[in-house]
Each structure stands twice: as structure tokens, then as C-alpha cells.
Amino acid sequence: MEHLIPPTHNVTVVRPHISVTPEEREAVLRAVEYNVFAFPAALVTCDFLSDSGAAAMTDVQWAAMLRGDESYGRNAGYYCLLDAFRDILERPENLRERLFRDVMAGTADAAMYLATFLQPHSGGFVNGGPVQLIRPNFFIVPQGRCAEALLFSTMADAIRTNPTVQPPIIISNGFFDTTGANASAAGFELHTFTQPGLTDPFPLERVRKENPFRGNFDVAAATAFLSDPANASRTTLVLLTITNNWAAGQPVSMANIEAVAALARAHGMPVFFDACRFAENAAFIKKFEPRYRDASIATVVTDMFRHADGFTISLKKDGVVNMGGALSFRDKGVFATRFGPGIGVRLKERQVAMYGNDSYGAMSGRDLMAAAAGLYQGTQDTYLEGRLEQVCNFAQRLEKKGIPVLLPPGGSAVFLDMDRFFAGCGRSHADFPAVGFTLELLREHGIRTWEAGPFSWEWDKKTTQEERDRIPNLVRLAVPRNAMTDQHFEYTAEAISRLHKKRHTIPGARITRGADLRMRHFQSGLEPVPVTVPRIRRL
């Protein structure tokens, strides 16, 4: 008999919606140039635009915020957050949360600070005590894109490439929008090696029984690329995105993580995780890789990070907190060796110049405490089991209504396959029909989503058919954690079903301003372009 997954929480605070008509939403869309990112959230009924920072925080997190303080130098939240990362990434389960609990309970005293927080700690992702001053390797920032900018800009300065020489390379299983933008702005050339078959059919009845880990890094393709000495000499970093946010939030297997680490070691390159959804990725590994079926999430996470030399993370994902991020690298690891012993000091100097003192990194002390609580709660087995089940149920709901969904679903969102959605309609990617769909869904039903396809990934600016073919044609419905009920999902499924039935009439979209802007989906102007439906001649 299939395992029955119980509810994981109760709802105790409710935010009522504003009643808005389709005509009013159309007027608002015109006012914001049909850019869904600029549409006022207060006028949205179901907001699937992003799960980033949109989660409902737990009662423990709200309580933790009251224990935060806003001291400029070394507030309590700084120590709790660093210790939480040590706990989650490196320590055995029975040695976790001790310091956080004492700070929460108000029982931390001078003796505890001297015996724990201020003791030298080194060799991992979070140096402690005086070692964090001498060899800094953990950096707090407001969110993940800040960690990316800090990392790539400092790497570029350390490399000091001659402008006449070809730029350094970063390879990845998938660069998300801000990741790619930050790396490109720093002067890196990007090469993506995602496992083929992202949109291949997958039977609905197998969703809970197996997973092809379509977010995997294509090791064979990358090996061929690095076999060219010119490519190998220019490649500076392997970035593994877990889960793969570029490839529809699909997970990466432990076997693939191990293979990527072996490839990087063979070429003397560091492996960094884009670790925004590391906990969800660990849940997929536990559920679908046989050797981890009986392991805890804690064990899977420590095994994953054993293969990494560093990571960037947005704490706004994976159910952690509404604001925050971090950058870390392994003390005396491959990254530090390759970029020199002073790389941590360089990173810290730039962090302090851009984001404030290293003990808060532009974060409030309250948010640091909430983030520490979120790390512990967001890596619990029961929470993650319920999280994956919620997304899976939503995907099944859509499939049963005949909506083409990319299966199996990832952990943070459901993706609609827009090539199949518009099959038989004669729609061209150049007309951005998936953008038109998102505008119609918002106008008619107050449901906000995001096109993760030809418009966002700049299909029209690619110079080869191979580059164009690599771009998936998807619409993402990101599911904020703990924030929605079954009524939201049923309403959304029915609304999309109604649009699907009249998909021949859904407008396309035209870029009216900002086609060449970087990350244009955040800032360009659009307008819907009605389709011409052939009239049926009456005999």
C-alpha cells in the first residue's frame, strides 16, 4: 500500500484578497507595460511568479526574530547562522541546534560564548573564532544574486585576464538568469551541459516511483569539451545547480554529483554548488536513489556537500526565510588553493564595501535569527516529504485536466510544456505565445506566473539553431512554501484548463521596449498581439 503522507502544518494567519475584475486587471497591465513582474501583488489572487522569499514563515521563525538584535558588530544572529550552517553541512545529527536553542531560550552566557562561538574552528565551510578573522571563508549577503556577484567579480579580479586573451570559462548544468548575468558581467564565458531529454514524455503513474534526475550535469559532453587543452586551460570553475533551476527545477542525483566532482578533480578545478534548493534536492536523492532510501536528509546533505569546494545560496528558497543569502568556500580546499590564500580576505573586503560589516552583510539581526531557524526546519524529513508531495499533487491535478505538464515535477514548481499546450495551433516561438498565455491567465483569473522560455531566455537573439533548440518552452508555476491551500491549486488548474480549451485565440506578445536589456523579463515593455483566427466559410 502506498505511503500516506500527513499534513505538516496548520494555518493560523489569513491575508484576505482584494476583489479585482478582469477589466481592472487589464487597465493595470496596460499601466505596467504588460510586464508581470511589475504587476502589484496586492491585486493578484494566486501568485506563482516565484517561491523566492514568498514562503509563509513558521511560528519558531517569528519567535526567533524577537531574539534577534541589531548590533553593528557580531550580533547573536551572526553566531547562530554560522553555527546552523556548520550543523547542517558538517556535523552529526546528535550535535546540532545546541547553541541556537540556548540563544532562543536566553540561557547563553559568557562561558558559552567562550567555549563555543569564540573557539577556533577550521577546515570546513565556516571557520570559527579567530580563524574566521584570519582566513574568512563565509560571507553573509542579502540574497543569492549578491553572493554570485561577490564571487564572480572577485574571481575575475584574481584572474586578471588580459583583454586581448579569450575570457575565462565557467561550466554548469544550468545557469539561472541572475547567475548567468552576474558571471557574464564579470567577464566569464558560460557553457551549459544539461542532461538531454528534459521534455521527454514521462508516465504519470511512475511519478512517485522513479525519477530520471533530468537536472543532471552532462558529464560526457563536458568531458569532451575539456579534452580540448584550450578549453581546459580557460575553465576556472564547475557550477552545479541543485536543483537545476534552469532545467525546470529538476533534481541532480548523488551519482552525478560524484561524477562531476571526479571530473573537476581531474582538471584541478573547484566545484561550487548553486545551493538555493539543496534540501529539496536531498529529498529527491533520498526518495529515488536506492542507497539513500533508509538515510536521513541530514546524511544526504552532508554527503552532497562533501563533494563541493564552495557554494552560493539564496536563503529565500527551500523554506528557509524571506530574505538572505550566503557565499562560502572550503577552508584550504581547491578553490582557496587555485585562487590563492588571500582570496577570502579579498571577498571580505568587497563584502564589507558593498553590504556592510561581515557580521550582518546588509541583513537585519532579526532576519539572521529567522534564517538560522529556517535552516533547521527546512531540512527536516517530514517537512520535505510534504513539500514534494504538494508540488506533485498540483502537477497531477493539472495533468488530469488535460494540461501538458513537464513530468516528473521538480520540488519547487510545476512547469507547463507550452510546445504541447499550443500543439496544432501553428504558433511560432518568435510570437512569444507563452508570454501571451501568462498575460491572459493574469488578466482573466488573477493568476500570476512566469514564462521560462523563448522570451526570458532570449530565443530571438541566438545566432544558431542549436542554441535555439536548447531553450525549453515552458511556463513556471512556482509554489511558495506553506502559503497556499488546495483551493488555490484547484482554482488555478480549472483556470488553466479553460484557457487551454480556447488556446487558438490566446494572443502572442511583442516587445515594445528593452529587447536588448540584460535580464529583460524583469524590465522590458510588452504588448499582446491578437491572433487571427480563420473564419469558417458557410456553404
Distance (Å, whole) CA 361 – CA 78: 10
Are 476 and 450 spatial neighbours (Cβ–Cβ below 8 Å)? yes
- Write the CB contacts of 227 (distance below 8 Å, at least 6 apart in sequence): none
* Count of positions (residues) in the chain: 539
Q: What would the pLDDT profile of 196-240 be if each residue is shown by its tens digit?
A: 999 899 998 899 999 999 999 999 999 999 999 999 999 999 999
Q: What would the pLDDT profile of 115-135 be if each residue is shown by its tens digit?
A: 888 889 899 999 999 999 999
Share of the chain above pLDDT 70, in %: 97
* pLDDT band per the 50, 70, 90 thresholds, residue 5: confident
pLDDT at position 458 over 90: no
| Amino acid 461: pLDDT | 80
Are 327 and 361 spatial neighbours (Cβ–Cβ below 8 Å)? no
The alpha carbon of residue 386 and the mean position of all alpha carbons in its chain are separated, in whole angstroms, by: 19
Specify the amino acid at residue 31. Answer: A
The closest alpha carbon to 435, from 470, 391, 491, 476, belongs to 476
Give pTM, 2 decimals.
Answer: 0.92
Distance (Å, whole) CA 5 – CA 109: 41
Are 43 and 20 spatial neighbours (Cβ–Cβ below 8 Å)? yes
pLDDT at position 539 over 50: no
Q: What is the largest CA-CA distance in the chain?
A: 93
pLDDT, mean of residues 21-42: 96
Are 463 and 445 spatial neighbours (Cβ–Cβ below 8 Å)? no
Distance (Å, whole) CA 499 – CA 506: 8
pLDDT at position 537 over 60: no
Distance (Å, whole) CA 171 – CA 160: 19
CB burial of residue 120 (10 Å; 0-12, 13-18, 19+) = exposed
- Phi, psi values for residue 271, rounded to 5°: -105, 125
Distance (Å, whole) CA 95 – CA 80: 14
* pLDDT band per the 50, 70, 90 thresholds, residue 161: low
Q: What would the pLDDT profile of 291-345 be if each residue is shown by its tens digit?
A: 999 999 999 999 999 999 999 999 888 767 788 899 999 999 999 999 988 999 9
* Secondary structure, 3-state, 390-436: HHHHHHHHHHHCCCCECCCCCCCEEEEEHHHHCCCCCCCHHHCHHHH
Task: Specify which residues 261 forms β-bridges with.
Answer: none
- Phi, psi values for residue 336, rounded to 5°: -65, -40
Specify the amino acid at residue 390. Answer: Q
Q: State whether residue 6 is helix, strand or coil.
A: coil
